[in-house]
Structure 1
Amino acid sequence: MGRVSKAQAQENRQRVVAVASRMFREKGTAVSVADLMKTAGLTRGGFHKQFASKEDLVDEAIAYAFEDPVAHSPVALEEHAGEHETARQTLIEQYLSIWHRDHAGDGCPVSGFAADLGREPGQAARSQDVYINGVRSRAARLATGDDDGMAQLCTMVGALALARATRGNPISEELLQAARTALTKSGSGQSEPQHRTD
């Protein structure tokens, strides 16, 4: 078999990164290089020609996921002709949808990589800037008035993680609905303060 051209090698590399980004979000970064390369339609030997280590691939896969303009909510990325609140509501609805719960591989990298980065401090340190910028960017899409969107993002990511963990039980959809209601009830993601009566 002849040598692969530079253009073909670059195309193969991009395919591996795209496949890895999806598989890591769906199954975690523990996915083996062999399984990943098989899914990409390439040999394991090709991996070592393209990447110094699996950690390097994880870095690139995370960056790719955050750069993907359609990751989890293509419609919400459009600011609806400048209508931030409409875009915010759309983002919340799509993020806390059954589809997003069931399609982690095509989903938000904030939730998709959170557990793995939490378990792997070395990888988290390598990818920290990309991940933090991604978190801030998504929170900014939820910001309203004095609210920077961080608590809203935490609610969404937490609800999604719980819904995925309980998939197959009615509570899964209840969790998504509870978060949607909490984030849209007052238009700012902030519930009215509860006054104690005791």
Structure 2
Amino acid sequence: MKVSKEKAAAHRAAIIAAAARLFRERGFDGVGVAEITRAAGLTHGGFYGHFASKDALAVEAFDAAFARSVKRIAARAAPGGGGLPRYLDSYLSAAHRDDPQEGCPMAAVATEVDHQDATVQQGFASGIAAYIAAFESLLPEDGEGNGTNRRARAMLMVSALVGGMALARAVAKSDAALSEEILVGVHAQLLALAQPAACA
């Protein structure tokens, strides 16, 4: 039975969404095509009608995950969105730590990407670049107005966010107090670092 274009597009979107969740939850190598399509409510037989390979799916899944993260930043950067403090509250929370499948793709799978196909690596790099560019919008302008220092602060802060979340997750089950201390400590230091004078 032939599937309508609308239904095919919905199936494709469901596969991408399921892959984005499962890759963040269990890693790229921790989940296969059959499991992804099953999570999307489909059979794996039609997978290759939508994607040439698991790598091709990964590129689109990570693109969707990064787009979602960038949208969250934009919402915080908008007037009334709470700015950097609210974004840090959300990112460095126990809820984000305990639910990687709905969170930041960098904190979930960054250490795996260098072992993947070049197209996956390039897609992930593009996502990181977009995330850093968006994150800059949460930071105050530099005194000189050239943006260089703000970009440097954004890169350092994103690195601390991702590393802090990865460490908090790594110790959450064995040392909950240390996990919480990491989240709270990184939050406090990043608020201080946000000011231009911090990197002068």
> How far, CA to CA, are the matches of 2:107 and 2:120 in structure 1?
14
Root mean square deviation, CA, Å: 2.7
Of the three residues 156, 180, 183, the one matched with 1:176 is: 183
SS in 1 for 2:28: coil
Check the 8 A contact 1:21/1:61 in 2, yes or no: yes
Q: Name 1:150's counterpart in structure 2.
A: 155
Check the 8 A contact 1:21/1:65 in 2, yes or no: yes
Tell which deviates more after alignment, 50-59 or 118-127.
118-127
Q: CA deviation at 1:110?
A: 2.8
Q: Name 2:98's counterpart in structure 1.
A: 102
Amino acid at match of 1:36: I
**CA 192–64 in structure 1, closer or farther in 2 if over 3 Å, else same:** closer
CA deviations on 1:103-130 (whole Å, 9 max, x unpaired) are 1111122323312213326244441552
Tell which deviates more after alignment, 140-149 or 5-14.
140-149
**CA 36–190 in structure 1, closer or farther in 2 if over 3 Å, else same:** farther
Gaps of 5+ in 1: 194-198
> How far, CA to CA, are the matches of 1:55 and 1:75 in structure 2?
27
**TM-score, scaled relative to structure 1:** 0.82
> How far, CA to CA, are the matches of 1:119 and 1:51 in structure 2?
20
Q: CA deviation at 1:80?
A: 4.6
Amino acid at match of 2:102: D
Is structure 2 residue 74 aligned with structure 1 residue 41? no
Of the three residues 125, 128, 132, the one matched with 2:128 is: 132
Tell which deviates more after alignment, 86-95 or 71-80.
71-80
Gaps of 5+ in 2: 143-148
Amino acid at match of 1:150: M
Q: Name 1:26's counterpart in structure 2.
A: 25
Q: Name 1:59's counterpart in structure 2.
A: 59
SS in 2 for 1:3: coil
Check the 8 A contact 2:167/2:182 in 1, yes or no: yes
> How far, CA to CA, are the matches of 1:125 and 1:40 in structure 2?
24
Percent of residue pairs identical: 31
Q: CA deviation at 1:163?
A: 0.4
**CA 22–72 in structure 1, closer or farther in 2 if over 3 Å, else same:** farther
Amino acid at match of 2:44: R
CA deviations on 1:66-123 (whole Å, 9 max, x unpaired) are 222xx4984872335278xx40111111111111111111112232331221332624
Kindly indicate which of the two structures has a greater share of residues assigned to helix.
2
**TM-score, scaled relative to structure 2:** 0.82
> How far, CA to CA, are the matches of 1:57 and 1:156 in structure 2?
26
Question: Using CA pairs below 8 Å that are at least 6 residues apart, which structure has the higher relative contact order?
Answer: 2
Check the 8 A contact 2:70/2:131 in 1, yes or no: no
Q: CA deviation at 1:19?
A: 0.9
CA deviations on 1:128-147 (whole Å, 9 max, x unpaired) are 55223333234313433333
